[in-house]
Every structure is written in structure tokens, then in C-alpha cells.
């Protein structure tokens, strides 16, 4: 029997290390300097928020969202077992779970009792319309708004946000925790400097989480690090005496100074840690909540999502604009019930915890929490008690910003096969998220030096979702 956790042979979460590593200290400096050097090489002041602000101010839309936390449920999240249950459908459609009433009078699957209790803070779209029931192609579509072609590689949403809005403080504007989805596309025709900074280390490993790239290597004290910086400056002084171009050295010094500032910033270090977080916060996010299936060792294990979302919230507080996290393996062609039993209890608690915490801290108005998947699952359960790929109608959840709270938008047909009313294409939903960030998705970016390409092609504002 196929292992439900593996799903399709083509569906894999492929971790990759980021190209820039701030903590990799060479004899003369640290490689995060390359990050700032590359920004300057593309006409941007190294680390300058003002440069981006001035550029964005030209014809800029009102910015009602400052940050986005994307929680991606890769593999195809089942709408029947989550936010669009069909309790009156035949059992081969409705599945094994019951329903729970939300505090707005709607119904969710009984896998989400905690989330149902904060439905008045959520926007649930039951009629997202995709294009491709293939993991790789649909994940690329979800990330970029375009289906793949052999001609153009399009930039992902995180890269677009980084390009259009730039940094808001010291931290990179686009961060993946711990790594980005390998199928989600990259910077496309934009510079590689607009790619995701990957934390690499996973917060799920525990409260001693530390991003290796944002800390000094073990055994290297700040005094020794400062001496290395002094040594680099002495070498530069010697090079200057040999009539090297002083303007180049001045620029390089700016790169390393900015990297040094980030590496030694208490605020940056704090954002990538659990410093100051209470036991109550970990409990709120569900750090000890387990799935309902046992691991290979016969024990029930927490899934680590709580810690990832706590770090995401801290990154928002520090100014990061787009954080992406992947959770679970939802390609449940076999035994969809077991898959849900495994992953959904921690997911339910974590959604509740993050939304509640953002609201308490006054961050929900300026932060969008967006739960995505590349597609949904087929209405009818197959011969292996699973559900197959289905892109024509599925659900997504949003919370925060100016999205209407307490709204369940759209209605699918009796078995969640097609939208009955108010279908929302993925392009329209992405267009609307960009709009709330103050980015006009009709804007044309230039590829290959001459070719204008819209951020989102044929997208329009889903006005019914926002206030």
C-alpha cells in the first residue's frame, strides 16, 4: 500500500541551502556583504529603505498590509476535511469526519474546533479556482501567478514584494522558514538578490533555535571578530597605498559595514530566537499538540508548526515583509482520514494561536496570514480511501489586514466539485493580496532588458473579499 505521507512520486519537499550566508566569516569579512553588493550593482543603495520608499511612492496604492505570513500546505489540502465539509452528501463524498459550527454560524470540519471559534476573525474562500492538477506546475502557479513556460521564468510573490517594497529595517524582506518550497519558483527574470533568505535551521527543533547565518561561528568571540575587521581594514589601507581605485574600496567597506551591522544587531538576533517568549505563548500556538497517529517509535509527536509560526510573528515585528512556511504532506491518495488525523490537530491549534496572538499584539490589522495549497482534493473518495488531485474548486483561509472578517466567501456545489457562485481565480486572489500591499499587479516589469511583463496577467481585484 502506498504510504500516504509520500503521495505522488513527483511530490517532494526538497530542502535547499540559501546562497547567502551571513555567518560564513572568511579571513577578511563575511559573505552577507555579497547581498548588499549585489543590491548596489542593480542600482539600489545598499540596505536603503528610503530608496525603495521613494520609488514606490510614484503612483503607489494605499498600503493596508505591511507583512504577509504564508503557510503553505503542500500536496493538495482536502477541502472536505477542512473548510468546506459536505455533511449531507453521500458518505463516499463527505468522508469520515463530522462538522463543527463556527462562531459565525457556518460549519467547518470537526478537525478544526479551535479555528471555528475564531471564524469571526477569518476570511474563508471556498471557491478558489486553479488551473493544473499537477504538484510542480500548480505550486509554481500558486507562487508566481503564471503557469510555467519554456520561454520565461516568472518571479515568485516573495521576490516581487522584495523588489517592489524592499526592506523595512535591517532584516531581509523575504524569508523562508526553514527553506522555501523547491517547486515555488525563484526570482525569475529579476535579480537573484530578491530571492528568499532561508533560515536553514528549523525552529521546530526546540527553544534553543538559532539561525546559523545570523550568528558568529562557535568559538569566535566578538573581540576576535572585531580584530578580523581591523585586519581587513589594514589590508584595504595597504591596497590604497598601491593606488587601487579608492571608490571601489569605499563601496566595499559599505557592504561589509552593513553586513556587520546586521550580524551584530541585537534586534536582528532577537528576531531569530525565542528570547522573551513565555510558556503561555508556546501553549497558545500548540507546541505540545500532537497528531492522532503514532510515529515509527509508537509515540505521538508534535509537528513543529507552533515554533515556526512564533518565529514568523517575530520576523513580522522586526519588519520582514513576506515569510513563507511549509507544513505537512497532504498528497493523500491513500487513507485521507489518517493523513488528516496526523497533521490537522497541530494545524488547528497553530492557526488559532497565531491569529489570536497577532490580534492581541495589535498586528492583525497590518499583517495578512494566508493559508494556501496548490490545489484541493477530488470530491469522491477513491478505492484506497484517499482523494486525488482537484484544481477546479478548493479552499483557502486568510486572516488580517483589510480582508473582511467573519466572511465565508463563495459556495461550491453539493460535493465541492465546482463553484456554484463567486468563484475566485488564483490570479484574482493574488492580485488582491498585492493590491492590499500597495502593489499594482497591473504594473509591467521589464524582462530581458526590453520585454514588459505584468506582475499578474489577467488578474482583477476580488472586491468582495476586502473592506
Does 80 have pLDDT greater than 90? yes
For residue 14, the model assigns a pLDDT of 41
Does 44 have pLDDT greater than 80? no
For residue 8, the model assigns a pLDDT of 84
User: Which range is least confidently modeled, 119-133, 169-183, 365-379?
Assistant: 169-183
User: Which range is least confidently modeled, 4-13, 182-191, 241-250, 408-417?
Assistant: 241-250
For residue 176, the model assigns a pLDDT of 96
Contacts of 294 (CB under 8 A, 6+ apart): 300
For residue 206, the model assigns a pLDDT of 85
Does 366 have pLDDT greater than 50? yes
Rounded Cα gap, residues 266 and 257, in angstroms: 16
Q: How confident is the model at residue 4 (pLDDT cuts 50, 70, 90)?
A: very low
User: Which range is least confidently modeled, 293-297, 321-325, 427-431?
Assistant: 293-297
For residue 235, the model assigns a pLDDT of 56
More confident call, 158 vs 231: 158
CB atoms closer than 10 angstroms to residue 320: 25
pLDDT average, residue stretch 235-258: 54
Q: How confident is the model at residue 7 (pLDDT cuts 50, 70, 90)?
A: confident
For residue 51, the model assigns a pLDDT of 44
The string of pLDDT tens digits covering residues 88-136 is 999 999 999 999 999 999 999 999 999 999 999 999 999 999 999 999 9
Environment class of 219 (CB within 10 Å of its CB; exposed 0-12, middle 13-18, buried 19+): exposed
Does 318 have pLDDT greater than 50? yes
List the chain domain ranges.
Answer: 58-213+276-465
Rounded Cα gap, residues 165 and 63, in angstroms: 10
For residue 266, the model assigns a pLDDT of 82
Q: Answer whether CATH 3.60.40.10 is correct for domain 58-213+276-465.
A: no
Q: How confident is the model at residue 250 (pLDDT cuts 50, 70, 90)?
A: low
409 phi, psi to nearest 5 deg? -105, 135
For residue 339, the model assigns a pLDDT of 97
**Grid coordinates of 63:** 498600503
Q: How confident is the model at residue 50 (pLDDT cuts 50, 70, 90)?
A: very low
Alpha helices in 83-221 (DSSP H): 91-94, 113-116, 135-144, 157-165
Angle CA(320)–CA(197)–CA(249) in degrees, nearest 5?
Answer: 100
Rounded Cα gap, residues 440 and 287, in angstroms: 38
- 3-state secondary structure string across 24-45: CECCCCECHHHHHHHHHHCCCC
More confident call, 9 vs 329: 329
User: Which range is least confidently modeled, 55-59, 190-194, 215-219, 445-449?
Assistant: 55-59
Does 228 have pLDDT greater than 60? no
More confident call, 381 vs 255: 381
CB atoms closer than 10 angstroms to residue 353: 25
Does 30 have pLDDT greater than 60? no
Average pLDDT, the chain: 85
The string of pLDDT tens digits covering residues 137-174 is 999 999 999 999 999 999 999 999 999 999 998 899 99
Does 247 have pLDDT greater than 60? no
pLDDT average, residue stretch 213-240: 56
Does 27 have pLDDT greater than 50? no
pLDDT average, residue stretch 67-92: 98
User: Which range is least confidently modeled, 238-247, 279-288, 390-399?
Assistant: 238-247
Q: Provide, rounded to the nearest whole percent, the portion of the chain with pLDDT above 70.
A: 76
Contacts of 230 (CB under 8 A, 6+ apart): none
Instruction: Pick the closest to residue 49 from 166, 192, 194 (CA basis).
Output: 166
For residue 269, the model assigns a pLDDT of 85
User: Which range is least confidently modeled, 166-180, 302-316, 411-425?
Assistant: 166-180
For residue 108, the model assigns a pLDDT of 98
Amino acid at each position: 500500500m502506498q504510504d500516504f505521507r509520500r503521495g505522488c512520486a513527483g511530490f517532494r519537499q526538497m530542502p535547499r541551502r540559501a546562497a547567502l550566508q551571513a555567518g560564513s566569516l572568511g579571513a577578511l569579512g563575511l559573505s552577507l556583504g555579497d547581498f548588499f553588493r549585489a543590491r548596489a550593482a542593480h542600482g539600489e543603495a545598499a540596505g536603503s529603505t528610503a530608496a525603495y520608499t521613494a520609488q514606490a511612492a510614484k503612483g503607489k496604492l494605499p498600503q493596508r498590509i505591511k507583512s504577509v505570513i504564508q503557510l503553505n500546505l503542500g500536496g493538495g489540502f482536502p477541502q472536505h476535511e477542512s473548510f468546506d465539509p459536505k455533511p449531507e452528501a453521500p458518505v463516499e463524498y463527505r468522508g469520515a469526519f463530522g462538522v463543527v459550527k463556527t462562531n459565525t454560524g457556518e460549519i467547518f470540519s470537526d478537525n478544526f474546533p479551535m479555528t471555528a471559534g475564531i471564524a469571526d476573525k477569518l476570511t474563508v474562500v471556498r471557491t478558489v479556482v486553479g488551473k493544473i492538477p499537477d504538484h510542480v506546475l500548480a505550486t509554481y502557479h500558486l507562487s508566481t501567478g503564471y503557469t510555467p513556460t519554456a520561454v520565461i521564468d516568472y518571479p515568485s510573490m516573495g521576490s516581487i514584494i522584495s523588489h517592489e517594497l524592499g526592506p523595512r529595517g535591517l532584516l531581509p524582506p523575504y524569508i523562508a522558514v526553514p527553506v522555501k518550497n523547491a517547486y515555488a519558483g525563484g526570482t525569475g527574470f529579476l535579480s537573484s538578490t530578491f530571492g528568499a533568505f532561508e533560515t536553514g535551521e528549523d525552529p521546530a527543533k526546540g527553544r534553543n533555535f538559532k539561525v546559523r547565518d545570523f550568528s558568529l561561528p562557535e568559538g569566535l568571540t566578538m573581540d576576535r571578530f572585531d580584530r578580523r575587521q581591523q585586519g581587513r581594514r589594514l589590508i584595504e589601507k595597504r591596497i590604497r597605498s598601491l593606488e587601487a581605485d579608492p571608490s571601489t574600496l569605499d563601496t566595499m567597506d559599505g557592504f561589509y559595514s552593513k553586513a556587520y551591522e546586521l550580524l551584530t544587531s541585537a534586534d536582528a538576533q532577537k528576531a531569530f530566537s525565542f528570547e522573551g517568549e513565555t510558556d503561555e505563548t508556546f501553549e497558545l500556538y500548540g507546541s505540545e499538540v500532537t497528531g492522532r497517529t503514532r510515529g515509527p517509535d509508537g509515540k505521538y509527536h508534535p509537528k513543529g508548526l507552533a515554533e515556526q509560526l512564533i518565529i514568523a510573528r517575530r520576523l513580522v515585528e522586526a519588519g520582514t515583509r513576506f515569510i513563507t512556511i511549509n507544513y505537512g504532506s497532504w498528497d493523500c491518495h491513500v487513507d485521507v482520514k489518517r493523513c488528516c488525523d496526523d497533521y490537522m490537530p497541530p494545524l488547528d491549534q497553530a492557526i488559532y494561536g497565531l491569529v489570536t496572538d497577532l490580534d492581541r499584539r495589535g498586528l492583525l490589522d497590518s499583517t495578512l496570514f494566508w493559508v494556501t495549497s496548490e490545489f484541493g482534493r477530488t470530491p469522491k473518495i477513491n478505492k484506497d480511501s484517499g482523494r486525488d488531485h482537484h484544481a477546479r474548486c478548493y479552499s483557502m483561509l486568510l486572516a488580517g489586514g483589510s480582508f473582511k472578517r467573519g466572511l465565508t466567501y463563495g459556495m461550491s456545489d453539493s460535493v465541492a466539485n465546482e463553484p456554484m457562485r463567486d468563484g475566485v481565480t488564483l490570479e484574482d486572489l493574488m492580485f488582491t493580496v498585492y493590491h492590499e500591499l500597495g502593489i499594482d499587479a497591473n504594473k509591467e516589469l521589464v524582462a530581458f532588458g526590453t520585454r514588459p511583463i505584468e506582475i499578474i496577467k489577467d488578474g482583477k481585484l476580488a472586491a468582495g473579499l476586502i473592506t
